[in-house]
Amino acid sequence: MNLQSLIKNTERPFVIAGPCSAESEAQVLAISESLSDFSALKMTRAGVWKPRTRPGSFEGKGEEALPWLAKSRAQTQLPFCVEVANVEQVEIALKYQADALWIGARTTVNPFLVQEIASSLEGVKIPILIKNPINPDLELWIGAIERFQKIGLDDLTAIHRGFSVYKHPIYRNVPMWEIPLALRERMPEIPLICDPSHITGKRDLVFDVAQTAMDLNFDGLMIETHNDPDNALSDAAQQIKPSDLKNLLSSLVMRTNTNLNAKEALNQIRVEINALDDLIFEHLKQRLLLSEKVGEIKKEHHITIFQQEHWTKLIAERLKMTSDYGLSQDFVRKVLDAIHQESIQHQLRIMNRK
């Protein structure tokens, strides 16, 4: 199978779906059964070795699960992909004739590991899907792709799954759309698939992110799908039922004009601007929550809300940086004043609470 040409010859979006983890033979087959009449679905996914953040969580069924995926392939007639994070896993996945391998975000960050995996695949003809690294580093993502190219593997596809930040109020992994778009500019031959499940971490947001990906002309979507999402052994909050996947796909608005005229180009930029505005306001909200905490301490210790010295210092430090921001002093000052006034209002409410 050549995945790149399959993606290019499929009407957008090229859809990969299936559970975060293969949990049992019955679960894998039940999901593939419910997905089997989806014409948009072109490949199934399931993790068998799970890179979990903390020990003690479900770490996947390992080799035992691969025959289930092979059975599901026989049932659906669809190729399957599986995550590999080391050479041993590559060998096992190949033994069960996985149709494609994906490199997870926690592996893409590690050039030693990526190199070992790439070298172990020398001479093997298999498509590789490469997720972005967990940190927002375009060069590291490109570097991982190049390591496979150097070995002679050229059927490569990139998956955008967002970037990790500490305590983001909305996303599990912030999309930072500018990074996958920059990847497309640098490597236009590499198809780009969005994984809204890992970006959002919450099933209610999956549609919006999938729609944005379509508006930005991504080639496809990888969406975690489970027959009983609430009881999934991994990533329960973000998985959706096969029936919800069907609704999601039929609700997507596809802008089919591939010849990017000015209007389309403007639309794309507006989607990016919108995403940035979301971030600005989410951050303002976080900032206000912190200033409310400050308000609580001031109330408890009888400190006045307005601390002139602190405020003067804060303004001066920020104004020193205006040329780095490419913004005028006047604008930065206005923004700071507006934020300050809002914080004072919030703190006043706290002080005067009975």
Which residues within the stretch 178-217 sit at the binding site for ligand PEP (CB under 6 A)? 198
CA 103, 104, 108, 113 torsion-angle sign:
negative
Decide: is 23 part of the binding site for Mn ion (CB under 5 A). no
Residue nearer to ligand PEP on the CB measure, 85 or 190: 85
Shortest Å distance, C-beta 223 to ligand PEP: 10
CA 49, 51, 54, 55 torsion-angle sign:
positive
Residue nearer to ligand PEP on the CB measure, 92 or 339: 92
Q: Which of 4, 30, 34, 51 contacts ligand PEP by CB under 6 A?
A: 51
Stretch binding Mn ion (CB under 5 A), from 155-163, 204-212, 235-243, 251-259: 235-243
Residue nearer to Mn ion on the CB measure, 20 or 43: 20
The span from the CA of 185 to the CA of 8, in Å, is 17
Number of residues this chain uses to bind ligand PEP (CB under 6 A): 9
Tokens of 39: 């014409």
CA 212, 274, 160, 218 torsion-angle sign:
positive
Stretch binding ligand PEP (CB under 6 A), from 5-13, 102-110, 141-149, 293-301: 102-110
Residue at shortest CB range from ligand PEP: 104
Q: Which of 13, 18, 79, 104 contacts ligand PEP by CB under 6 A?
A: 104
Decide: is 131 part of the binding site for ligand PEP (CB under 6 A). yes
Which residues in the chain belong to E strands, given as ranges?
14-18, 41-45, 80-83, 100-103, 128-131, 156-160, 192-194, 220-224
User: Which one, of 186, 172, 103, lies nearest residue 139 by Cα?
Assistant: 186
Concatenated DSSP letters of 21-75: B---HHHHHHHHHHHTT-TTEEEEE-BSS---SSTTS----GGGGHHHHHHHHHH
- DSSP three-state, residue 181: helix
Decide: is 158 part of the binding site for ligand PEP (CB under 6 A). no
Q: Which does 131 bind (CB under 5 to 8 A by kind): Mn ion, ligand PEP, none?
A: ligand PEP
User: Which one, of 41, 100, 18, 96, lies nearest residue 249 by Cα?
Assistant: 41
Q: Which does 340 bind (CB under 5 to 8 A by kind): Mn ion, ligand PEP, none?
A: none
Decide: is 147 part of the binding site for ligand PEP (CB under 6 A). no
Burial class (CB in 10 A: 0-12, 13-18, 19+), 256: exposed
Stretch binding ligand PEP (CB under 6 A), from 103-111, 246-254, 310-318, 322-330: 103-111
Decide: is 127 part of the binding site for ligand PEP (CB under 6 A). no
Stretch binding ligand PEP (CB under 6 A), from 99-107, 135-143, 239-247, 287-295: 99-107
Q: Which does 61 bind (CB under 5 to 8 A by kind): Mn ion, ligand PEP, none?
A: none
Shortest Å distance, C-beta 263 to ligand PEP: 34
Which strand (E) or helix (H) includes residue 308?
Answer: helix 308-319
Decide: is 20 part of the binding site for Mn ion (CB under 5 A). yes
- Apex 222 CA angle, 217 and 228, nearest 5: 140
Binding site for ligand PEP (CB under 6 A): 20, 47, 51, 104-106, 131, 161, 198
